Amino acid sequence: MFLDKHFLKRCLFVDIETVPAFESYQSTPEQIRELWTMKASQLRRHGGSLEAEMSDSELYDLKAGIFQNLPKLYASQWDFYTMKKESPLLCASNHLPEMTNL
């Protein structure tokens, strides 16, 4: 096992999935679009060669769901594990369906 078993005696795993807050770059409000244009410029400057060639709209489709001012929560899940006789045991879990109306 790659982790010390003592770290896994009580372990909470959280998985949060996000999507862009707006369906497309064109559907974003003008103020958000201006902010995204600045962010896209940074991505082109500091990203890889793929980002350097992409338009603001293409970058929005690819990256907008991961930046703090642009995503919307899509799904959330947590699982709490403890150890029982050297094996992980699921103690509690919360599996939520799509949460698109937040």
CA angle 27, 56, 73 (to 5 degrees): 55
pLDDT of 30 reads 93
Successive 10-residue mean pLDDT values, the chain, 102 residues: 64 80 89 90 86 90 77 73 71 57 39
> Could you tell me the sign of the dihedral formed by the alpha carbons of 25, 22, 97, 68, in that order?
positive
Mention every residue, 6+ apart, whose C-beta is less than 8 A from residue 59: 36, 40, 43, 44, 51
Tokens, residue 28: 């974003």
Structure tokens at 74: 């899509």
Q: Where are the domains of the chain?
A: 1-21+72-102, 26-69
Q: Taking the model in full, what pTM does it have?
A: 0.59
CA–CA–CA angle 21, 15, 63 (5° rounding): 35
